[in-house]
Amino acid sequence: MNQTRLSVEAIKDGTVIDHIPVGQGLTILRQFKLLHSGDAVTVGFNLSSKSTGSKDIIKISGQYLDDAAANRLALFAPQATVNDIENFRVVRKRTLTLPESISEVFRCPNSNCASHGEPVKSHFSVRVSHGETRLCCHYCEKTFARESVIEA
């Protein structure tokens, strides 16, 4: 007999963000303001994963992410999948694509950048170079590894 035991309770309708790298679950909750949506949010940290060894997972009841929001996730969890759930079944499974640009999510690490002293919103072009995600600041035109750019 094949028995499956879920570590995090199933949801009837909503979104499941799966295969989040361990430690990124809280960042995604904060960045997407999921705890302030008014919807039930279930989170699992450091869960067992066949493909990566361990993972985080987020389940949002009654809310669906649009493609733009789902793709923004790729900046934090490029290997994550976004599953739309209806009546306890996966009706759509999305792999993520990096957006071409991103605004108001990160702060430029260049202390001389105009975005620090002026009332402007941060804006970066997103590029992939040698398998690494890089962000190019719209204002100072410097390029940084994704990991070195600070969340706004």
How confident is residue 4, by pLDDT bands cut at 50, 70 and 90?
low
User: Which CATH number do you get for residue 52?
Assistant: 3.30.70.140
> What sign results for the dihedral spanned by CA atoms 29, 32, 35, 39?
negative
Query: Residue 107 and residue 115: Cα distance in Å, rounded?
Result: 8
Q: What is the pLDDT of residues 91-118, one digit of tens each?
A: 999 989 999 999 988 899 999 999 888 8
Lowest-pLDDT choice from 28-37, 78-87, 140-149: 28-37
Number of domains observed in the structure of the chain = 2
Dihedral of CA atoms 18, 19, 21, 25 in degrees, nearest 10, equals 10
How confident is residue 152, by pLDDT bands cut at 50, 70 and 90?
low
Whether 114 and 142 have beta carbons less than 8 Å apart is answered as no
- As a whole number, the mean pLDDT across the chain is 89
pLDDT of 1 over the 60 cut: no
Same domain assignment for residues 82 and 112 = no
- Residue 136, marked binder: no
Which of 6-15, 34-43, 64-73 has the highest mean predicted lDDT (pLDDT)? 64-73
Which of 95, 110, 132 marks a domain boundary? 95
3-class DSSP string for 78-121 = CCCEEEEEECCEEEEEEECCCCCEEECCEECCCCCCHHHHCCCC
Q: What is the mean pLDDT of residues 123-139?
A: 93
Same domain assignment for residues 85 and 120 = no
